Structure formats: structure tokens, C-alpha cells
Amino acid sequence: MNDETFDDITSLRGRLEELRIEHRDLDEAIARLSQVPAEDELVLRRLKKRKLVLRDRIAAIEHLLDPDEPA
């Protein structure tokens, strides 16, 4: 593994951790907003949509870091 590949993997792992933290934070915010009367349903829908986008990005990075088939 060369230095550039190592840097790419390290960068992907860092980004993956950032996305996981943001996903967890959104999950907590959605849970809090769901407990109060629906004053701003639009905000709740946007948060849920953002969470789904993050989930997809997390899955894509995980696949890049650990592909199913050996290279």
C-alpha cells in the first residue's frame, strides 16, 4: 500500500466517522421532535430525509473500505 492509498483510506475512515456522528445526532433530534406536538412537520421531514442521505453515504463508504469481493 502506498502513501496515497493510505491517505485515501484514512480520509474515507475520517469522513465515515463524521457521517456516523451526524447520523446519530439527527436520530436524536428526530426523536426529540417526534415527542412534541407537530408544530413544524416540514423540519421533521427534512431531518428524516437528510438522515436517509447520510445512511446511503455511510453504506457507500463502508463498501469502498470493505468490498464484498476480493480485488
The predicted pLDDT at position 2 comes to 76
Phi and psi based region of residue 8 (left: phi greater than 0; alpha: psi -120 to 50; beta: remaining) = alpha
Q: d(Cα 48, Cα 54) in Å, to the nearest integer?
A: 10
Q: Is residue 17, in this structure, part of any structural domain at all?
A: yes
Specify the number of domains making up the chain: 1
- Prediction pTM value: 0.78
Phi and psi based region of residue 40 (left: phi greater than 0; alpha: psi -120 to 50; beta: remaining) = beta
The predicted pLDDT at position 41 comes to 87
Top pLDDT among 1 and 23 is at 23
Q: Is residue 71, in this structure, part of any structural domain at all?
A: no
The predicted pLDDT at position 71 comes to 56
Q: Is residue 70, in this structure, part of any structural domain at all?
A: no
Residue 47, domain extent: 3-65
**21-54 per-position pLDDT tens digit:** 999 999 999 999 888 876 778 889 999 999 999 9
